[in-house]
Structure 1
Amino acid sequence: MIEKVKILEERYSEISEKLSEPDTVNNQELYKELMKEYKNLTPIVEKYKEYVQAKEANEEAVMLLDEGGLDKDFKEMVQEQLEQSKQDMQTFGEELKILLLPKDPNDEKNVIVEIRGGAGGEEAALFANSLYRMYTMYANSRSWKTEVMNANETELGGFKEISFMIEGEGAYSRLKYESGVHRVQRVPETESQGRVHTSTVTVAVLPEAEDVELELNEEKDLKIDVFRSSGAGGQHINKTSSAIRITHIPTGMVVECQDERSQYKNKDKALKVLRSRLLDIAQREHDDKIASDRRSQIGTGDRSERIRTYNYPENRISDHRIGLTIYKLESVLNGNLDEVIDALATADQAAKLSKQEGAN
């Protein structure tokens, strides 16, 4: 591991020098690429420096104790330094292992989140709205930007489905664990007997696909229809033919967008969603070919997998993938998701480390 870090440290120094060269500064594409690599290497190099400092402190303590002739107080101080440096070396070494794990190439991307009501009818649609609110509040807490791509509302204020983009550094790295089936247990407002109902909502988190990653031939691959917007209500509904429906002919995939009054804006949004869906399918097919890599990761499995339960009567949230249960339902639904996501990220890292060590 240390040899690998030393090579990365050399590369870090090399990039640092290149970034100050006029040829690099004048080449924006190269500069951007090197800055990205520099940024990714920075936490590894900084952690390695901490490890080296702890190692030097350890060696100094060992040398002093071996020499002998120390008075009682100084000897105790050196022994404390020895124990602390040992502990630090172990801690920094473990942290380095995590930093050296292969990065998901999508981690820094923006995401498109698609939420759909599942079993439970209107109650599922209302909970879809609750999840949309939760994710937008979480995005706001991290200063990320959100933008609705398409929404199909119900008369009671729920969503049969809603898709929206979240733009921000590391959005996918945090939200990728949210894909799957979310189950809610609560008493619906329409329930006169006070019985708890169970409903489900599906969430899909797609990394935004860049144009260069997926070329689309509009003439051959796409069928584009224009129609009038429809929805639960509103003064602009059914007045102009601005809504867009794009059918991807090779797969039969259909994307609609009617959130904007401009036909061109709706088309642009619909194409973004389509590209991201197609890229996601391609990545999943690729991952299936390379055996269990994808399945060993937390939260990147089958979309039909039930991942979490929100129990209102008990104020409880349970994430079934890692056996996590916390009694902070209201707080989490208000966008305080970090405790849940941190636990999932830690479990994911542990699974990857275990697999890597097993391979070695």
Structure 2
Amino acid sequence: MSDRDTLEDRLSAAAERYEKLARRLAEPEVLSDMALLRDVAREHSALEPLARAAERHFKLLDDLRQAREVAAESGGELAELAELAAAEVAELEAERGAAREELRHLLVPKDPLDDRPAVVEIRAGTGGDEAALFAADLYRMYARFAAESGWDVELVSTSEGVLGGLKEIVFVVRGSDAYGRLRYESGVHRVQRVPETESQGRVHTSAATVAVLPEAEEVDIRIDPADLKIDVFRSSGPGGQSVNTTDSAVRITHGPTGLVVSCQDEKSQHKNKARALKVLRSRLLDRMVAEQEAERARERRTQVGTGDRSMKIRTYNFPQNRVTDHRIHLTSHRLEAILAGDLHEIVEALRLAGTEERMAAEGG
């Protein structure tokens, strides 16, 4: 089968699937089942860009066929028409080349986890109080990026440091393609700047670790209650009158893996337990995905993999007003704007690199 046949067949199949899903969305059995409706709507929405691109592609092929026929059949008194048709053929050929490249990217199978909410965990690393301040900067950066993207942010737990810093914060980002766009933020983020507490004006290097996990659903990960050790304790920090007066905070330890999740931001012990279980499921799902990615990484050299939390992925250099992503060698001198939430350039560059990686893995 030729490359053209493969492309045309896959586009036709995608367009047919899109139309079939559109019909299914109106079926009574789908409308009466919320879980099924959500899954069908999610797949239909994911296929829409490809279906629209396929429609443009087939129209382009039809226009090209007609232009070639005119160019071939015109002659004599119609020489001028033939010349115009030949010029149109050249333009359409160039347009088709660009369109085919776009289609190759769209045809790369989308990770089904990309549409999930993203559970983001930020922890201060080396650097003491300065690292905690940087962790707070990163949280504000992602919160503002989420707001610009039309997403919602739900706090799960926080552990505050001094001077407004954060030792740790866990939050969930909900919105279209949240995990798909944030997944490559996982890793060690390094900052180089003069700390507020530095009297000599020396530049210090500090770090914070970011982990982005796909929010797990109960059907993804089933947890045996017998594997859990659940402790309750009194909250410490913001929380109103219930702080230090009721045992509302919850700590869950998963025996088989040793994973520990704590949640204390809600006044209700029940709500804290539910949130902690959500984070635990997401960590277990992330561990499973990381193992799969590690297996694939043994077969090929990865470029922007999300499994290695210890990898230094990005440096924020204040003296040079520079942000550098070390995986894709992208450098921007817009540090202030990026920390204010303008992450679009970096996020899209990382997504493109991830798509190219998957294309290479599939021999595309």
TM-score (norm 2): 0.92
What CA distance in whole angstroms lies between the structure 2 residues aligned with 1:28 and 1:242? 33
Which residue number in structure 2 is paired with residue 4 of structure 1? 10
1:211 matched residue in structure 2: 218
The equivalent position to 1:178 in structure 2, one of 178, 185, 190, is 185
Does 1:312 find its partner at 2:351? no
Residues 111 and 205, structure 1, Cα contact 8 Å, conserved in 2: yes
Instruction: Give the match for residue 135 of structure 2.
Output: 128
Letter in 2 for 1:283: V
2:166 to 151, 159, 163: 159
Indicate yes or no: 2:247 matched with 1:247. no
Q: Show the counterpart of 1:338.
A: 344
Q: CA deviation at 1:71?
A: 4.9
Report the CA distance shift for 1:293/1:152 in structure 2 as closer, same or farther (over 3 A): farther
2:57 aligned with 1:68: no
Distance 1:243 1:26, change over 3 A: closer
CA distance in 1, matches of 2:246, 2:361: 55
Alignment of 1:190-201 (within 5 A): 190-201=197-208
Partners of 1:116 and 1:172 in 2: how far apart? 19
Question: 1:266 is matched by which residue type in structure 2?
Answer: N
- CA–CA distance in 2 between the matches of 1:8 and 1:221? 43
Structure 1 residue 41: deviation in Å?
Answer: 2.3
Whichever residue aligns with residue 53 of structure 2, its letter is: K
Instruction: Please say which of residues 183-192 and 142-151 is displaced more in the overlay.
Output: 142-151
8 Å contact from structure 1 (residues 247, 253) kept in 2: yes
- In structure 2, relative to structure 1, the CA distance for the partners of 1:236 and 1:14 (3 Å cut) is closer
Partner of 1:353: 359
Q: Deviations over 1:195-225 (max 9, x none)?
A: 000001000001001112111222x111111
Letter paired with 1:90 = G
Equivalent residue, structure 2, for 1:257: 263
Residues of 1 paired with 2:235 and 2:263: CA distance? 9
CA RMSD of aligned residues (A): 2.1
Question: CA offset at residue 286 of structure 1?
Answer: 3.0
> For the residues of structure 2 that align with 1:234 and 1:265, how far apart are their CA atoms?
16
Q: Structure 1 pair 190/291, CA: closer, same or farther in 2 (3 Å)?
A: closer
Contact residue 71 and residue 81 of structure 2 kept, 8 A: no
Looking at structure 2, the residues matched to 178 and 133 of structure 1 have their Cα atoms a distance apart, in angstroms, of: 14
**Identity of paired residues, percent?**
48
2:179 counterpart letter in structure 1: Y
SS at match of 2:362: helix
Distance 1:6 1:13 in 2: 11
Q: Out of 309-318 and 86-95, give the one that drifted further.
A: 86-95
- Which residue of the other structure, out of 255, 268, 273, is the alignment partner of 2:274? 268
Distance of 1:279 and 1:58 partners within structure 2? 48
Segment drifting more, 34-43 vs 145-154: 34-43
**Aligned pairs, how many?**
357
CA displacement, residues 97-146 of structure 1 (integer Å, 9 cap, x when unaligned): 11111211110000110000111000000000000000000111112111
Q: Which of 232, 243, 249 is equivalent to 1:226?
A: 232
TM-score, L = length of structure 1:
0.93
Query: Can you give the 5+ residue segments of structure 1 that lack an aligned partner in the other structure?
Result: none
**Pick aligned residue for 1:95 from 94, 102, 107:** 102
Structure 2: stretches of 5+ with no match in the other structure: 1-6
Distance of aligned partners of 1:22 and 1:226 in 2 relative to their CA distance in 1, 3 Å threshold: closer
* Shift of residue 38, structure 1, vs aligned partner: 2.3
